[in-house]
Amino acid sequence: MLGIQKEAPKGLKIIIVGCGKVGSTLVEQLAREGHDITVVDKRTDKLQELTAQYDVMGIEGNGASYSIQKEAGVDKADLMIAVTDSDELNLLCCTVAKRSGNCAAIARVRTPDYSREIGYLREKLGLAMVINPELESASEAARILFLPTALEVDSFAHGQAELIKIKIPEGNILDGMTLAELGRRISQDILICAAERDGHVTIPRGSFTLRAGDMISFSATRSVAKQFLSDIGFKTDQVRSTMIIGGGKSAYYLAQQLLNVGIAVKIIEINRARCEELSVLLPKAVIINGDGTDEGLLREEGIDRVDSVVALTGIDEENILLTLYVKRVSQAKLITKINRITFREVITNLDLGSVIYPKYITAEAIVRYVRGKKNSMDNNNIESLYHIFEQRAEAIEFHIDGVSDVTGRPLMELPLKDELLVSSIYRDGKVRIPSGQDVILPGDTVMIVTTHTGLNDIRDILI
């Protein structure tokens, strides 16, 4: 017997201060999910651009001003998100909002000094979240370098399992194999969750035939994932050395993480003063003062011998050209940071290795919080949210707190939406790749992969 149909939760009233890359991405995603959004910025042109494109209200002014926040409706707001270029302004915006209204507050904070004090800032300022795009980007890059044959690596089930994206090379054992055959011949403990072919993303079934050139994402425990990759001919050892081009905040955070696990790091940075700073901050790294786009310098510093290269300059075009050059002279694992998302299809076709979009990583963390807050009174919570295949599919992890329409029934009996897959169930400290006979129980954590967007509740997986 099906339960009572739940009423769709109303959208939240959200104030976003800052119309830069992250702010614009948040407006795009949150407006699409039906929230009531007010955007605050000093730049008239940016406000006009967003208000013309989306159903949002724009207010010109200083987002930390009490009168401007009052005009934006802070006294009735559910959430304040401050994502300007200034850490101090973001923290002040959130402090004023907390004192002026009864809303939750999220601040973007990028400076390493503040990032070391995130726990203190959250507690003393009463912030719901402090998000650091450079740190999050560095952490994603580090996960990839620990498993360099992967294009993307996302962790879920409290780190017990991973969602891994790879590209099937020519002549690989998977070429021409159906998913059903893969389960019989190689492993039943992994699940192909999504596949991209010729620019189209699908949630495949057992009859789907894999082809060389396909991009696939699969879920498995960490140990099973490594064994599977080894079985299909992929290298699974982490890199031993990394060359980072660009010495900004992301480079600092990434180098710190890599050095901590014994990976040799060399950073090439054009600004001499920044090189001196990095030499003090990262005494175990090799810091080179020079132009990272200088072919002669790159060869002199061993670009053809290093295990991995990460392009982290502040200019997208430089990062792309660097990656294309390194592909021609080296077998290194490549990671490319891209801040803008224009010409995304062209970028995808360039085959740049692993591409990291800092603003998407930041927006993803905030959207996850918003969806969780929207359904905080329901019997489940969103624990993690990943956008995969350049935002064309989502992997969402739900914690199931109580009985609902999806619990206690075999998955094969549930009227699931098309293009949706229950990819794993985490129960009693163990991850299961479910079959049709498995059931979802209260207390489980369930990962869903789907091309549908905006799922807020585990019951949204049903037709």
- Using one digit for the tens of pLDDT, what is the confidence trace for 215-239? 999 999 988 999 999 999 998 888 9
**Is residue 2 one of the residues assigned to a domain?**
no
Residue 390 domain flag: yes
411-440 mean pLDDT: 94
Is residue 6 pLDDT above 50, yes or no? no
Q: What is the per-residue DSSP string for 49-81?
A: HHHHHSS-EEEES-TT-HHHHHHHTGGG-SEEE
Does 9 have pLDDT greater than 60?
no
Domain that holds residue 18: 13-131
Q: Are residues 331 and 412 in the same domain?
A: no
Assigned domain for 287 exists: yes
Structural domain contains residue 33? yes
Q: Are residues 350 and 382 in the same domain?
A: no
Given pLDDT bands bounded at 50, 70 and 90, which one contains residue 10? Answer: low
CATH of the domain at 146: 3.30.70.1450
Compute the average pLDDT of residues 168-192: 94
Same domain, 144 and 224: yes
Residue 419 and residue 314 share a domain: no
Q: Is residue 8 part of a domain?
A: no
**Total tally of structural domains belonging to the chain:** 4
pLDDT of 409 above 60: yes
**What amino acid occupies position 195?**
A
Q: For residue 431, report the phi and psi dihedrals to the nearest 5 degrees.
A: -100, 130
Average pLDDT over residues 440-459: 91
What's the CATH code of the domain at 40? Answer: 3.40.50.720
Q: What is the mean pLDDT of residues 371-392?
A: 73
Q: Count the neighbouring beta carbons within 10 Å of the beta carbon of residue 188.
A: 11
Instruction: Among 355, 389, 408, identify where a domain stops.
Output: 355
Say if 326 falls within a structural domain.
Answer: yes
Domain end, chosen from 310, 325, 355, is at 355
Query: Span 337-351, mean pLDDT?
Result: 76
- Residue that finishes a domain, picked among 231, 266, 297: 231
Q: What is the structure's pLDDT at 307?
A: 96
Q: Which segment of 137-146, 294-303, 347-356, 377-386 scores lowest on mean pLDDT?
A: 377-386
Alpha carbon distance 376, 19 (integer Å) = 28
Per-residue pLDDT of 241-251, as tens digits, reads 999 999 999 99
Region 350-361 average pLDDT: 87
What tokens were used for 391?
A: 């935002």
Kindly indicate the confidence band of residue 58, based on its pLDDT and cuts at 50, 70 and 90: very high
Q: Name the average pLDDT for the chain.
A: 91
Check whether 28 has a pLDDT greater than 70: yes
Q: What is the reported pTM?
A: 0.83
pLDDT tens readout for residues 277-315 = 999 999 999 999 999 999 999 999 999 999 999 999 999
Task: Assess whether 127 and 19 both reside in one domain.
Answer: yes
In a domain, 3, yes or no: no
Quick check: 327 and 309 in contact, CB under 8 A?
no
Domain shared by 250 and 290, yes or no: yes
Q: What are the pLDDT digits (tens) for 70-118?
A: 999 999 999 999 999 999 999 999 999 998 888 999 999 988 888 778 8
In b/e form, how buried is each residue of 407-417, taking b as 16+ CB within 10 angstroms?
beeebeebebb
